[in-house]
Structure 1
Amino acid sequence: MTQWLDAAAFDEIEDEDVMRFDHGGHTYAIYRVEDNVYASDGLCTHEHVQLSDGLVMGHVIECPKHNGRFDVRDGRPLCAPVCEKLKTYPAKVEGGRILIEV
């Protein structure tokens, strides 16, 4: 069963930035790009490092450990050393709040 989680206020995250959201023993990463929001698992698929410590450039998140990159829109890996897709989740803004569907 899926549910929408209230993750944060839209104003809490800057454009081209990422924030960490923890819920139910799981860590998520929430991205804001050009006033759109995206969500993914919070750990890199390569070495399980927090992506919230990474750098967002356009629709790309760069892992802070080995500089692997993912497209935040669909989780696909863009360069080595990452080769496994990042799980993504639907995200939206309602009433100034960021909601993610898990």
Structure 2
Amino acid sequence: MGWVTVAKKNELSEGQTKAFVVEGKDIAIAQVKGNYYAFFNECSHAQFPIDQGTLSDTVIECPHHGATFDITTGEALTLPAVTPLKIFKVKVDGEEIKICFED
């Protein structure tokens, strides 16, 4: 599928995570220090949405069980999660935020 426009830059504030639906899949995008990070909007521990979790720099905490993940790599940092988040490549094209979305 390749690069898909997901959002406009003005839709996300610094330190914010927001959910979007792309090709029927729930994707979360976070903005940290002017950079954008994209990942499946699903905690790998119990498959709950993670976009409403606490974002601290590039670490997001699942609001349901407290698992934390590095949004730059997807790495699960704390239990109960042991499986990484699925992350996506992100690029900014003008005002558009795009992710490389492949089935």
Q: Common fold, TM-score beyond 0.5?
A: yes
Aligned to 1:94: 93
Aligned to 1:69: 68
Structure 1 residue runs without a partner (length 5+): none
SS of 1:21's partner is strand
CA distance in 2, matches of 1:23, 1:100: 10
TM-superposed CA distance for 1:14, in Å, is 1.1
SS of 2:82's partner is coil
1:1-102 correspondence runs (5 A):
2-102=1-101
- Deviations 1:52-88 (Å, cap 9, x if unpaired)? 1111110001111011100000100111111101111
SS of 1:51's partner is coil
How many pairs were matched up? 101
The residue type equivalent to 1:55 in the other structure is T
CA distance in 2, matches of 1:29, 1:101: 13
Question: TM-score scaled by structure 1?
Answer: 0.94
TM-superposed CA distance for 1:100, in Å, is 0.6
Structure 1 stretches of at least 4 aligned residues deviating more than 4 Å after TM superposition:
none
CA distance in 1, matches of 2:12, 2:58: 15
SS of 1:79's partner is coil
CA distance in 2, matches of 1:51, 1:92: 22
SS of 2:51's partner is helix
Structure 2 residue runs without a partner (length 5+): none
